[in-house]
Amino acid sequence: MKRISILFVCMGNICRSPLAEGIFSRVVARAGLDDAVHVDSAGLGGWHQGELPDRRSIATASAHGIDIAGQRARRILAGDFEDFDLILAMDHSNVAELRRRSPHADNIHLFGDFALGTGEDIPDPYYGGPEDFEFVYARLLNGCNTLVERLGTISGSWSGKTSSVR
């Protein structure tokens, strides 16, 4: 199986996408696919470049046995559109901005479509409380589990940038 690269994207890369990266990395490891999947996260803006994830994201992940404290926020780069097989944005506005930046990229998808099949946005918990971070964690966990199952189903036909994953 070719190594699949997946990038999770949100606004600032401190709440949703770091949680998604941490959750997905754990689900991938539990499925024994560490060597087959590369995962990362990024933000549309560089406001938090180099910073740790939001302390509430760290706490939420930690409460579920996931350590994301080693992650650092980064801004999405032009090369990411070519370097990643799959770019999963957390909400419709993120998708629109990604498509504006790279109109011909066919690897950009809404997490709620691709991983959950619902078309829903993963809401930004930044201005919320612990329950909002828990809600986001639960939705991301559900989607990440489904995504790993989906990747396992298509692994035999995976051929890189032209794969049916897109």
What are the residue numbers of the active site? 10, 16, 124
Q: How far apart are CA 138 and CA 162, in angstroms?
A: 31
DSSP type of residue 72: -
Are 48 and 72 in contact by the 8 Å Cβ rule? The answer is: no
Q: How far apart are CA 127 and CA 130, in angstroms?
A: 10
Contacts (Cβ under 8 Å, ≥6 apart) of 155: 1, 36
Are 108 and 130 in contact by the 8 Å Cβ rule? The answer is: no
Nearest to 53 by CA among 91, 98, 33, 23: 23
